[in-house]
Amino acid sequence: MTHLQESLLIAVRDGAVDPPTEALARAHLATCPSCAGDLAALEKRGSDVAAALETLDGFFDAASARASVRVRVARAAADAVGSLALEADGRLASGKLSVRSVSRRFRARWIRAAGAVLFLAAASAAAALPGSPLRRWAGDLIEGVTPGPAAVERPSPAAASPEETTGVRIGVSEGPLQVLLRGVPADGEVEVRWVSGTEAAVFGPLGSRFTSARGRIEAILTPGRVRVELPRSVVPTSLVVDGRIYLSRTPEGLTVPGPAIREDESGIVFRGGDR
C-alpha cells in the first residue's frame, strides 16, 4: 500500500488542501492505520510546537503601541505639509490631532493635514489673546478632535515641563507599583515626586519609549532629565534604574538605596546611571 507523504498529512492537519484532495486523503486514512497514526503524531507534534513557542511570549503593551503608532502616522502626514508641521508638533505629541487626517484613505490626507495644522496654528494664536472671542471657540474645537477613549495611555505633556516632552501615566489604586527605567546616563538626573491621588507617571526626553502594564511602567530613556511621579498612598512601590533599586516604599517605610542628591518632603532627586 502506498502511504501518504508527510507534507500531505501536515496539510490535511492544517486544513490546507482542497476538498477533493482532502476527501481522498480521508478515505485513505480511514483504511490505513499507519497513516492515521502518522496524522495523530503530527497533530500531537503541532500541539507540542505551539506550546513550546508560547514559552517565548512576553507581555506587550498594545495600548501604548497604538498611541505611539497613531502619533507617528499623524506626524508623517503633518511632515508632508512642510514647516507648518512644526506648529502642530506639540498637538501631535499630545495626541490632540486626529488620526482622521491621515487615515488609510489618503486621497485627502494632505489637504486634511494642512487644514489641521493651519487650524491649530490659528487656534494657538487665538488662545494667546486673553479675552478674544476666538479663544473659547478655538479651545472648544481643539478639544473636539481629542482622540477616542481607546488610547488609554498616551503622552501627557500638559503635566510636563518643556524639556520633558513625552511620558506615560497609569492609574494605580493599590500596590504593588514598579517603575523600571533604562538608559539613564551617568550624568543624568532622575527626579522623583510624591504626588497625591492614584496615578503614577514617568516623563522623559522626546524619543524615550514607554510600556506599561497593571502596576508597572517601563521606560527606555534617551539622554536628558527624567521625572517620576509616585502616589504617596500606594505601597509597595519600587523604582529600579538600570537594574538597581533606587527606592522602595513599603508599609514599614521608605528605603532609598539609590544615589540620592537631594531629598525633601516633596520628593528625591537621584543621580542617574549609577551601576
Partner 1 sequence: MGSHHDDHVEFDTTFDEIYPALVRYCHRLTGDRDVAEDAAQEAMVRLFTHEVEGPIPALRAWAFKTATHLVRDRYRVEENRRRLLQVHPVHPGQGEGPERRVERRESEERARAALAELAPRDREMLLMRYEGFSYREIADAVDVAATSVGTLLARAERRFQEVFTGVERTA
At its nearest, how many Å lie between partner 1 and the CB of residue 9?
Answer: 8
Any residues with CB less than 8 A from the CB of 244 and at least 6 apart, and which? 257, 258, 274, 275
At its nearest, how many Å lie between partner 1 and the CB of residue 220?
Answer: 7
Out of 3, 26, 45, 232, the residue judged to bind partner 1 by CB under 8 A = 45
At its nearest, how many Å lie between partner 1 and the CB of residue 256?
Answer: 23
Site string for partner 1, 70-99 (x = CB under 8 A): x-xx--xx--------------------xx
Site string for partner 1, 172-211 (x = CB under 8 A): ----x--------------------------------x-x
Residues 212-241 that bind partner 1 (CB under 8 A): 215, 220
d(CA 110, CA 260): 49
The H or E element that residue 260 is part of is: strand 260-264
Under 8 Å between Cβ of 255 and 248: yes
Q: Does 260 bind partner 1 (CB under 8 A)?
A: no
Stretch that binds partner 1, among 145-153, 186-194, 230-238, 254-262 (CB under 8 A): 145-153
Q: Does 66 bind partner 1 (CB under 8 A)?
A: yes
Q: Does 20 bind partner 1 (CB under 8 A)?
A: no
Residue 255: phi and psi, rounded to 5, are -120, 140
DSSP-derived secondary structure for 50-71: HHHHHTT-----HHHHHHHHHH
Using alpha carbons, select from 41, 12, 45 the residue that is nearest to residue 26. 12
d(CA 55, CA 51): 7
- Burial code (b: 16+ CB inside 10 Å, e: under 16) for 22-34 equals beebeebbeebee
Cell of 25: 486523503
Out of 43, 48, 140, 163, the residue judged to bind partner 1 by CB under 8 A = 48
- The number of beta carbons lying within 10 Å of the beta carbon of residue 203 is 27
d(CA 31, CA 161): 75
Stretch that binds partner 1, among 126-134, 140-148, 159-167, 185-193 (CB under 8 A): 140-148
Q: Does 31 bind partner 1 (CB under 8 A)?
A: no
Question: Given the complex with partner 1, which of 14 and 163 has the nearer CB atom?
Answer: 14
Residues that bind partner 1 (CB under 8 A): 6-11, 14, 16, 45-46, 48-50, 52-53, 55-60, 62, 65-66, 68-70, 72-73, 76-77, 98-100, 102-106, 144-145, 147-148, 150, 176, 209, 211, 215, 220
